A and B are shown apart, each in its own frame.
Chain A
Amino acid sequence: MSRALTVIRAGPGVTVQDLGRPGNLAFGLSRGGAADRLALAEGAALLGQDPGLAVLELAGAGGVFEASEEMRIALTGAPMRATLDGRRLAWHASHLLPAGAPLTIGPAEAGVYGYLSIGGGLDTPARLGSRSTHLVAGLGAPLAGGTTLPAGPDAGGPVGLQIPAEPRFEGGTIRVVASLQTHLFEAADIARFEAETFHRGMRGNRMGVRMEPEGAGFGLSQGLTILSEAIVPGDIQITGDGAPYVLLAECGTTGGYPRIGSVLPADLPRVAQAPPGAALRFRFVGLEEAVKISRVAAAEQNALASKRTALLRDPREMRDLLGYGLISGVTDGRAGEP
């Protein structure tokens, strides 16, 4: 049998994701891809591979997974309770998954979207140039137990490494730039939008999340109608009842709701990973500052691999060093090199 990862059991939102399908906006298909793109970069850095390789996105709940042969894995994004043969596996880290051993991943302990990356990536058939599931477009579907996913060839490399994950799993301050209708909102409403603490609504999915205001809703003066225009992930629409709705990876391509602002791509993972009830605030920045922020974020992403360190293990659990691949790459003294 060829190299594969089998989903033994799956929570309701387990999907194959990569960086999505840019270039189809003109045909009504949004980019899609992972809700937290940073988590893909982290997984790729841990395994020393291309961040465009396909991974499993685990929305809120995990599942049980089994490898057909020994496989390198990385666990990133929302921290979840992962165990292998009853032993807890560190999150934001890489491990060796032995053939046939059940990897059990529980619900998220913080955040929303956890990611399971494998060495070589998932090699499911690409559709329109991407392996990512786009639920709204009917491209792929959440995975059910019993699904076997082919794995790509793994160039190999060290495991047993951890990475300091950017904290983004409990809301916080979100930086936004002005959008198409920002100037149409009353100055007092813009000030209130920045001053208020919002709570991530109970409902939310890969298309977007609703932010519950503490006070009155937001909106434009009556009589203003907006012609539908292109919308993109990060845009903050003010929906009919005045609550902001932040668009995520799988949003539509056009929309006619007024947009009060647009979240910086660097802060979108923080929005996607805010669990229901999490407190968030919005702060406007100018385009110049936004570019600076994005440059820093891009540089940090490029430097992720250099921040890998060896996992510290509890010696009592180190019963089988070889089985955990601790010996192979980590001890050559170069594991921390980019």
Chain B
Amino acid sequence: MEPILKPAGFDGYLVTFGDGLSEAANRAALAFRDAVEAAGIAGVEESATSLVSTYLRFDPLRIGHGEMRVALERLLGEQDWYAAPLPSGRRLWRIPAAFGGAAGPQLAEAAEAAGIGEAAAAEMICATRLRVQTIGFAPGMPYLGVLPEAWDIPRLTDITAAVPAGGLCVAIRQLVLFPNTTPTGWRHVAQTAMRLFQPDTETPFLLRPGDEVEFCAVAPDALAAFAGDPRGGASCEALG
């Protein structure tokens, strides 16, 4: 679809690249946000991406809605954003995760919903190179995707009262990783030792939108060794 530009409340604009989640729409949103930041349009105060859109907040007393629209339309016309390269500065994270058992109490039912066995389910998740599609809901909390089609499983209507911080949960071909203990309808399949939000350090948010992630299965007792490591034993390398 063609990108759609619309005002979002009094002081925002939203550029939407898809009406459903797709890799291309997510890529376009990430690339366009990068371009908005680089363009340095006077009056823009902050920008962010959701799964398929770029949002920006501006000061309408500094730059009018019409003028902002023109600036954004000009930027949109510069290239095919669906085919744009992803922003630079992205990293690849390899994150140790303990699947199933007490570390992932809902792995069995998630695997069943996906129509595969437990071991195959963990293997499939670990074999998929995932992207941080967006960060939201809670500070530093990534939405990771896209998992193979088998994982198009619904969220639970019965909310799990408390998934611990670092919990890895799955639904609708996506994974989320919780910064804090959280009630959720997503199925808790594995546990990591990642501490995604550390407000008092120089890098308060561990992951950035556009980063790539692979999970590596470890034994549950291996996680204890990472307790003192804010990255939870994860490795991080720059993507070219």
Contacts from A to B (Cβ < 8 Å): 22-29, 127-128, 136-139, 177-180, 227-230, 232, 234-235, 252-254, 262, 264-265, 287, 290-291, 294-295, 298
* Stretch from B45-53, B92-100, B156-164, B221-229 that touches the partner: B45-53
In the complex, besides A127-B200, A139-B199, 17 extra interface pairs with C-beta distance below 8 angstroms are: A22-B45, A24-B205, A28-B135, A177-B9, A177-B10, A178-B7, A179-B8, A180-B8, A227-B21, A228-B136, A232-B8, A254-B134, A262-B9, A265-B11, A291-B61, A291-B65, A295-B61
A294 to chain B, nearest CB (A): 6
A134 to chain B, nearest CB (A): 8
* 26 pairs of residues in contact across A and B, judged by CB atoms under 8 Å: A23-B46, A25-B48, A26-B33, A26-B46, A26-B48, A27-B135, A28-B138, A28-B141, A29-B205, A136-B138, A137-B199, A138-B199, A227-B21, A228-B51, A230-B12, A232-B11, A234-B10, A235-B9, A254-B136, A265-B10, A265-B11, A287-B65, A291-B60, A291-B61, A291-B65, A294-B61
Which residues of B from 47 to 71 have beta carbons under 8 Å from A? 47-53, 55, 57, 60-61, 64-65
A-B interface, 5 closest residue pairs, ranked by CB to CB distance from nearest: A262-B9, A230-B55, A254-B136, A26-B48, A25-B48
Pairwise interchain contact B140-A27, C-beta atoms closer than 8 A:
yes
Given A27-B139, A290-B10: A127 and B46 within 8 A (CB)? no
Chain B count of residues within 8 A CB distance of the other chain: 44
Pairwise interchain contact B57-A137, C-beta atoms closer than 8 A:
no
A246 to chain B, nearest CB (A): 12
B209 within 8 A of A: yes
Pairwise interchain contact A253-B65, C-beta atoms closer than 8 A:
no
A304 to chain B, nearest CB (A): 17
Chain B contacts of A136 at CB under 8 A? 138
B184 within 8 A of A: no
A182–B71 Cα distance when bound, in Å, is: 24
Chain A contacts of B153 at CB under 8 A? none
A29–B197 Cα distance when bound, in Å, is: 10
Pairwise interchain contact B48-A253, C-beta atoms closer than 8 A:
yes
A131 to chain B, nearest CB (A): 12
The residue from A26, A127, A252, A294 contacting B60, defined by CB atoms under 8 A apart? A294
